[in-house]
Amino acid sequence: MKPYKSFLFLLVLAIVAGNVLYFYPGASIPVYKSFSIRIPTLFDEQKKDVGVQPTLAYNEKMQPNTLRYDWTQEELADNIQIDTSFLCSNQLKNIPAYPIEYTGQNPLIKFYEKLQDSNRSKPLRIAHFGDSQIEGDHISSTLRDYFQRSFGGSGCGFLPLFSPVNANSFEVNYSPEWTKKTVLNTSRQNNFGLTMGYISASETDEQPFVEIRKFPYVAYPTSTRFENLHLLVSLNTAVDDIQVVVRQQTMDAEFQIDTLGGFQWLSMRVPAAFANLKILFPSQKRSLLYGVFLDSCEGIAVDNYSLRGAAGYIFSCNTSNVLKESFTLTNTSLIIFQFGVNAVPAASVHLKSTQPYEDNWYKELSYMRTLAPDVPILVIGTSDRSSKTPEGFETNPNIKCILTAQRNAALRAGCAFWSLFDAMGGENSMQEWMNQKPRLCAKDFVHFSQHGAKQVGEMMYKSIASDYWAYLYEKQADSLRRTPPPKELEME
């Protein structure tokens, strides 16, 4: 080939590559199954772009008594440097962020401080509790994906043992020797722990087991990449009696054991590339299995705890020390409390008072805060729920009453609050979500479609990330205010 042709060929390649890098930074191109090619981000404007300021305002001063110098907003903006890549501006540019509400100091600061800690020895766990709106890992899977791409980590977290719908990435089955017990089928105080239930093996001659199968298709590939298998158990046997079988071969189950009260948190390294994993427990030994978890050694883990039909009055059914111990052992660092649609009465019922609803939720949230005072709680206000009227589908008239009760209970209990109803667009927004292509809600005008659940997860993540950005901004601003601004340094 002649030299000028070689030059032209290389020039065309450079132009094509440059356009791809410029217009699609950070994009992921699927190639085969879960394998994809990720386009690198060469431009570093996000890391120093304090001009991309969220609309949320961090409306309190970190240490007001120590402020000694007056900086202008322009001077602060010029001197504050924040890596804003966690805002995922390219991916979420069309997704709205809705303010997180609280009274006094932002309760989420305790979680934000842990996010900044680079010396963590294990992943921070986010416990996402909810009703059927999050069943099947809906919403949680999107939150998990954005948290892990921004702050590290991988794996799907908690695998539901008795949910009627499997998680997006895995199917879990257990042998007939196990019986299940959940917070939904008892009204008595019980030892459920944070998983809100457990399975117990009957004393038979058969060896009870739990089997995990990986789905061939997953929405988020990071959920199938993990390093550790964890079991939250209450054993009546030696840990060495538990067997882990991968690819029909029994592994050397060298569990690391953390014990607190009646719980054991068992951890071992397992290969991520398995299609089938089986955990066998000894027969004739009555043990309780609360949960199976798959995650990495660092970063963020998001656990989906879905309870179909629940209205959120579930935590006080737990024995206090059992719930507290399970939160501590799993390193749960943030609780997301998402209930409400099951508490909304039918449209034909006119609520005269929402005080009983508020008091019940306040009781549950206060109970949790007492047991885990260092774990902040973010309460998600109910979504829109439409009812059929002669004019068409309209917002259930009780929605705003329930939303007010949730907001009041959350703020009374010292929790943060985020209104999904308002983030969706307010009154009759479910009808608008139904009209979108693809549809964002199911035909019952109550639940979200897969696309709708993804959008809710994106809105929730962007709102949390924006609130975190505001915290970082004010923290740096507070530090700067303790030093003379540039104009005073020049005068000196």
Which of 1-10, 210-219, 261-270, 345-354 is least confident? 1-10
| Residue given tokens 């000196």 in the structure block | 492
The confidence score (pLDDT) of residue 40 equals 58
pLDDT in tens, 421-457: 999 999 999 889 988 889 998 888 888 999 999 999 9
The confidence score (pLDDT) of residue 77 equals 83
| Res 147 pLDDT > 90 | yes
CB 82 within 8 A of CB 45: no
The confidence score (pLDDT) of residue 454 equals 94
The confidence score (pLDDT) of residue 487 equals 67
Tell which wins on pLDDT, 14 or 482: 482
In this prediction, residue 114 has a pLDDT band, given cuts at 50, 70 and 90, of very high
Q: What is the pTM of this model?
A: 0.83
Tell which wins on pLDDT, 304 or 34: 304
pLDDT in tens, 75-105: 888 888 899 999 999 999 999 999 999 999 9
pLDDT in tens, 408-417: 999 999 999 9
Q: Give the chain's length.
A: 492
The confidence score (pLDDT) of residue 161 equals 83
| Res 5 pLDDT > 80 | no
Burial class (CB in 10 A: 0-12, 13-18, 19+), 101: middle
The confidence score (pLDDT) of residue 19 equals 64
Structure tokens at 238: 């030696």
Cis peptide before 438 (omega within 30 of 0): yes
Q: To the nearest whole number, what is the mean pLDDT of the chain?
A: 83
Which of 42-56, 361-375, 464-478 is least confident? 42-56
| Position 344, amino acid | V
The confidence score (pLDDT) of residue 61 equals 43
The confidence score (pLDDT) of residue 33 equals 45
CB 236 within 8 A of CB 260: no
| Residue given tokens 């705890």 in the structure block | 305
